[in-house]
Chain A
Amino acid sequence: MLPNGSKGGLALRTEHPNTAEQAAEVLAAADSEGLSVRPRGAGTKLGWGGPGPEAAIELTTAGLTRIVEHNAPDLTAVVEAGVPLADAQSAFRRGGLMVALDPPLGRDEAATVGGVVATGDSGPLRHRYGAPRDLLLGMTVALADGTVAHAGGKVIKNVAGYDLTKLLAGSFGTLGLVVRVALRLHPLSAKRVTASGSSADPVALQRSCYALAHAPLELESLDISWEAGTGQVLARCTGAAPQPRAEQATRLMQEAGLRSEIVEDDEQLWSRQRERQRSENGTVVRVSGRASEVARVIETASSLGGSVVGRAAMGLLWVALPPADPAVTVATIEQLRRELHPLPCVILDAPREAREGVDVWGKVEPGAAALMRRVKERFDPRGILNPGLFVDGI
């Protein structure tokens, strides 16, 4: 099956450079010829973003697959953008470490480090460790005019120069091709155990999340989910002695009116949370909410036939809508946005016809949008990188 985003037509030409310099050459040539370029990792999230015109050149990171450095004792690593995140994790795991990023990895767990960085995608570990932006120490990027630039470094603390890594993270390939990144690593926890609570009352679920988030439990993850009239809260405790905290978490859940239990073998629970951030044929809307809005988002999504999964304490929720006629999907998205206004609702997965019917990003404050446009113009003046894919038509 073709990715959601493809019309079925193939990009004119595919390039897979092996070095930053080769990538830069491709970009410089495209820039001078005014050809549009679509950066690509494993293609697991190609359907995200606005439905722009088909690009002339597909610039893949398939030839950039080296783990350049793994400095376990320093808690850092340098990897090329095309390395599958799963492969990087296996390498780090051998040193007892991880990069604290666990977004859904898509088909065949193929998602690359570069793709995860470029989309700013994240999973349950976000609660404790943040998003790609928070774990990037440095970056090498090939810019549209063929400049190869580095920002940051490869030590875990550094404020020299502007933090372009954060600018590039989540920029969806519209400012340059991320070629290589330096990452902060964290130790894998010796033990993990999850407190799980359930209820059919969104308000009780939200209440329990407050209690869990505010208790000094140092949770690694605090997730919520809702489907078919019932919901679940998951609190993962890790460390040398997580059991007493998991027990405390179950008590807090009970006090909030949830049925709760401890799940020792919890891997499945969490991979399910991750998977539910994606939908092959349906639509997924990421809602940037707040902890205090969780119940409202659940009730709204539920009334529209949707399910919810996400990070309870951060109010970051993925609403999945079932497959439907594109016109119905568009109407549902619009209603969701209206009811949740002013919370930003970004469409991630969605059939192309539906994406053509809405602004997938939603409105950005005009002043900020103008500034974003100026940034784009400075980095990609001819607009060859993923034209039309990003916010406000960038």
Chain B
Amino acid sequence: MHRLVEQLTRICGADGTIVTRHARDTYGSDGLLQYHVTPGVVVLPDTAEQVRAVVGACHQAGVPWVARGSGTGLSGGAVPVEDGVLIGLNRMRRVLQVDLDNERVVVEPGVTNVDVSAAVAPTHVYPPDPSSQIVCSIGGNVAENSGGAHCFKYGFTTNYVTGLEVVLPDGEVVTLGGAELDRPGYDLVGAFVGSEGTLGIATKITLRVIPKPEDHRTLVAYFDDTTEAGQTVSDIVAASIVPGAIEMMDQLTIQAAEAATHAGYPLDVGAALIVELDGPVAECDARFDEVVDICQRNGATGIRVAADERERELIWKTRKAAFGAMGRISPNYYVQDGVIPRTRLPDVLGRISDLAREHGLKVANVFHAGDGNLHPLVCYDGRAPGEAETAERLAGLILQACVDAGGSLTGEHGIGLDKREHMNKMFSEADLDAFQRLRCAFDPQGLANPGKVMPTPRLCGEVPGPYRQHPLEAAGVAERF
């Protein structure tokens, strides 16, 4: 390690190499504070060439590394490896090219999500908009295939990445895709997006942007319960209306968020549904009254239509504050990210509230309702003995309920460290084996973000074949979940 650190210091400079324990510690967690591991050394490269040299040096030394964007991830994806290298990409913040004629931008990975939209404003936008967009990096978005409130209509990160420059775990640099579509060969851009930092480091990212929607119309409707609100969502979709965003909050979330924002949401309602139509003026006009109608038919107790941009922002502020505001009602909380077929919303929410009661904990619910992407926030007090474990168990049961309903473990936060033990709920051994083949093609030595995504450590055989036990597992040191 000592020699490697010297080498890394030569590459990134003393100013870009962090060795003191205290400073390394600050990189120990991402947005999911439950996990903390102090990395052996932190480097902050400034250029793609430095990233290449760092990864190359790690490859030669056989030392694992973890890439980190802004550290807002919610699955422990950027949690370091002990004695490994943490590669922070936040200094690489250059917008390299803006080509509006062709609706493309090329950026370095440390550019924040909002800065991409800012670079193409005012005529264009970059649609995937995670709530963390002010801080999270595009590199992190690519690694997690991040979503946001506008994904039901506009799609996810993966639908907007057309090209990548990637430093592979052996230090080679490859260009995948480009500005053009349908380049010959395997869609390795598609395979890389959402790979959670396990296939290499994206050092240059080409993104598609779109013309800014002409208009938007926003309302929030209040209901007695989430079932009515859920039925409203289904009725809107059944009417062939595709809202730009459609977001739901339950009572507990409203209470917490309202306390933080004072946006004027009533505290006694069972659910609030934000519906935003966007697009051509004529189209928004034609459908907005229908949306209001559908809300009323489903028993909305009140509807607030944003009269102007200020009121629209107020409505959204409460939704965006939801996670952060949980601190007001609970010392700690555990975010989950399960997905269900939207029509199963009433049964699954019923199941979640039963589970919460059985475990004696509160669960607040906020979700991307169009996509059926739930964010159950399991509230607990980490100081109370055993409560953190109970919360974790409850969170696992909620995920099981999502998978049982035909859904998924995660809609946008990724598997990371946090949900890897649940992978077997959704994927068979054969499925995991197929995943591993892709990983081995990129990283045969297993140096890129090891221990993430897969439920157990796996090695890459020389000749690929069915799953083989990891030596640690065979020796009984590590266990399969």
Q: Measuring CB to CB, which residues of chain A are less than 8 angstroms from any residue of chain B?
A: 71, 73-76, 96, 120, 130-131, 133-134, 141, 143, 145, 147-151, 153-167, 169-171, 175, 186-190, 210, 213-218, 239-241, 244-245, 286, 288-292, 313-316, 343-344, 346, 361-362, 364-365, 367-372, 374-375, 377-379, 381, 390-392
Question: Is B292's CB within 8 Å of the partner chain A?
Answer: no
Could you list 18 A-B pairs, sorted by A, with CB under 8 Å? A73-B343, A130-B155, A153-B339, A155-B341, A155-B411, A156-B372, A157-B151, A159-B412, A163-B158, A166-B189, A167-B191, A187-B242, A216-B280, A218-B280, A241-B283, A244-B280, A244-B282, A371-B442
State the CA gap A362–B194 with chains docked (Å): 28
Q: Which residues of A contact B168 (CB under 8 A)?
A: 371
Q: Closest chain A residue to B123 by CB distance?
A: A214
B199-219 at interface with A (beta carbon < 8 Å): 211-214
Q: A148-B430, A150-B427 are in contact. Are A155 and B406 (CB under 8 A)?
A: yes
Q: A161-B427, A167-B187, A379-B437 are in contact. Are A120 and B182 (CB under 8 A)?
A: yes
Closest 9 CB pairs of A and B: A166-B190, A149-B434, A187-B240, A216-B214, A367-B174, A288-B180, A240-B286, A378-B437, A158-B408
> In the complex, are the beta carbons of A240 and B287 less than 8 A apart?
yes
Most chain A beta carbons < 10 A, residue from B195, B282, B428? B282
State the CA gap A292–B476 with chains docked (Å): 60
Question: Is B459's CB within 8 Å of the partner chain A?
Answer: no
> In the complex, are the beta carbons of A170 and B187 less than 8 A apart?
yes
> In the complex, are the beta carbons of A158 and B410 less than 8 A apart?
yes
Q: Which residues of A contact B123 (CB under 8 A)?
A: 214
State the CA gap A355–B350 with chains docked (Å): 60
Q: Closest chain A residue to B408 by CB distance?
A: A158
> In the complex, are the beta carbons of B408 and A164 less than 8 A apart?
no
> In the complex, are the beta carbons of A73 and B285 less than 8 A apart?
no
- The listed residue (B283, B343, B437) touching A74 by CB distance below 8 A is B343
Q: A74-B341, A161-B431 are in contact. Are A371 and B438 (CB under 8 A)?
A: no
Stretch at the interface among B18-26, B264-272, B382-390, B461-469: B461-469
A122 to chain B, nearest CB (A): 8
Question: Is B453's CB within 8 Å of the partner chain A?
Answer: yes
Chain A proximity mask over B95-139: 1 for CB below 8 Å, otherwise 0: 000011111000000000000000000010000000000000000
Q: A73-B343, A369-B185 are in contact. Are A218 and B371 (CB under 8 A)?
A: no
Q: Closest chain B residue to A152 by CB distance?
A: B408
State the CA gap A170–B434 with chains docked (Å): 18
Most chain A beta carbons < 10 A, residue from B102, B103, B411, B464? B102
Q: Which residues of B contact A147 (CB under 8 A)?
A: 430, 433-434, 466
Question: Is B426's CB within 8 Å of the partner chain A?
Answer: yes
With A149-B428, A170-B187, A186-B242 known, 19 other A-B pairs at CB within 8 A are A74-B372, A120-B187, A150-B428, A150-B431, A155-B339, A160-B423, A161-B426, A166-B191, A216-B211, A216-B212, A216-B279, A241-B282, A290-B180, A292-B101, A315-B180, A346-B182, A367-B172, A371-B174, A378-B438
Q: Which residues of A contact B151 (CB under 8 A)?
A: 157
B151-204 at interface with A (beta carbon < 8 Å): 151-152, 155-156, 158-159, 168, 172-176, 179-191, 193-195
- The listed residue (B158, B279, B282) touching A166 by CB distance below 8 A is B158
Question: Is B441's CB within 8 Å of the partner chain A?
Answer: yes
Q: A74-B343, A170-B186 are in contact. Are A161 and B453 (CB under 8 A)?
A: yes
Q: Which residues of B contact A379 (CB under 8 A)?
A: 434, 437, 464
Question: Is B415's CB within 8 Å of the partner chain A?
Answer: yes
> In the complex, are the beta carbons of B341 and A213 less than 8 A apart?
no
Q: Closest chain A residue to B454 by CB distance?
A: A161
Q: Which residues of A contact B8 (CB under 8 A)?
A: none
A308 to chain B, nearest CB (A): 16
B129 to chain A, nearest CB (A): 14
Q: A161-B435, A214-B123 are in contact. Are A313 and B190 (CB under 8 A)?
A: no
B381-431 at interface with A (beta carbon < 8 Å): 406-415, 419, 423, 426-428, 430-431
B426-481 at interface with A (beta carbon < 8 Å): 426-428, 430-435, 437-442, 453, 463-466
Q: Which residues of A contact B234 (CB under 8 A)?
A: 73
> In the complex, are the beta carbons of B279 and A155 less than 8 A apart?
no
B464 to chain A, nearest CB (A): 5
Q: Which residues of A contact B441 (CB under 8 A)?
A: 371, 374-375, 377-378
Q: Measuring CB to CB, which residues of chain B are less than 8 angstroms from any residue of chain A?
A: 99-103, 123, 144-145, 147, 151-152, 155-156, 158-159, 168, 172-176, 179-191, 193-195, 211-214, 234, 237-238, 240, 242, 279-280, 282-283, 285-287, 339-343, 368, 371-373, 406-415, 419, 423, 426-428, 430-435, 437-442, 453, 463-466
State the CA gap A169–B409 with chains docked (Å): 23
Q: Which residues of A contact B426 (CB under 8 A)?
A: 153, 160-161
B4 to chain A, nearest CB (A): 25
A212 to chain B, nearest CB (A): 10
Q: Closest chain B residue to A217 by CB distance?
A: B280
> In the complex, are the beta carbons of B408 and A288 less than 8 A apart?
no
Most chain A beta carbons < 10 A, residue from B102, B184, B339, B441? B184
A323 to chain B, nearest CB (A): 24
State the CA gap A74–B155 with chains docked (Å): 16
State the CA gap A346–B182 with chains docked (Å): 9
> In the complex, are the beta carbons of A316 and B182 less than 8 A apart?
yes
> In the complex, are the beta carbons of A364 and B184 less than 8 A apart?
yes
State the CA gap A368–B191 with chains docked (Å): 13
Q: Which residues of A contact B213 (CB under 8 A)?
A: 216, 218
> In the complex, are the beta carbons of B103 and A156 less than 8 A apart?
no
> In the complex, are the beta carbons of B423 and A155 less than 8 A apart?
no
- The listed residue (B174, B368, B408, B464) touching A153 by CB distance below 8 A is B408
A360 to chain B, nearest CB (A): 9
A127 to chain B, nearest CB (A): 11
State the CA gap A161–B439 with chains docked (Å): 11
B346 to chain A, nearest CB (A): 13
Q: Which residues of A contact B182 (CB under 8 A)?
A: 120, 131, 170, 286, 288, 316, 344, 346
> In the complex, are the beta carbons of A167 and B438 less than 8 A apart?
yes
Q: Which residues of A contact B242 (CB under 8 A)?
A: 186-187
Q: Which residues of B contact A314 (CB under 8 A)?
A: 181
Q: A73-B234, A166-B158, A216-B214 are in contact. Are A344 and B437 (CB under 8 A)?
A: no
- The listed residue (B103, B186, B193, B414) touching A372 by CB distance below 8 A is B186
> In the complex, are the beta carbons of A391 and B184 less than 8 A apart?
yes
> In the complex, are the beta carbons of B184 and A188 less than 8 A apart?
no
Q: A217-B280, A241-B282 are in contact. Are A291 and B102 (CB under 8 A)?
A: yes
Q: Which residues of A contact B287 (CB under 8 A)?
A: 240
> In the complex, are the beta carbons of B184 and A344 less than 8 A apart?
yes
Q: Which residues of B contact A163 (CB under 8 A)?
A: 145, 158, 190-191, 193-195
A157 to chain B, nearest CB (A): 4
State the CA gap A161–B372 with chains docked (Å): 18
Q: Which residues of B contact A215 (CB under 8 A)?
A: 211
> In the complex, are the beta carbons of B179 and A245 less than 8 A apart?
no
Q: Which residues of B contact A169 (CB under 8 A)?
A: 187, 190
State the CA gap A37–B407 with chains docked (Å): 34
- The listed residue (B173, B179, B240, B433) touching A367 by CB distance below 8 A is B173
Q: Which residues of B contact A134 (CB under 8 A)?
A: 155, 158-159
Q: Which residues of B contact A160 (CB under 8 A)?
A: 408-410, 415, 419, 423, 426-427
A339 to chain B, nearest CB (A): 16
Q: Which residues of B contact A186 (CB under 8 A)?
A: 242
A84 to chain B, nearest CB (A): 23
Q: A239-B283, A241-B285, A371-B174 are in contact. Are A164 and B343 (CB under 8 A)?
A: no
> In the complex, are the beta carbons of B339 and A143 less than 8 A apart?
no
Q: Closest chain B residue to A169 by CB distance?
A: B187
Q: Closest chain B residue to A97 by CB distance?
A: B240
- The listed residue (A133, A213, A346) touching B190 by CB distance below 8 A is A133
> In the complex, are the beta carbons of B237 and A164 less than 8 A apart?
no
- The listed residue (B101, B159, B211, B464) touching A130 by CB distance below 8 A is B159
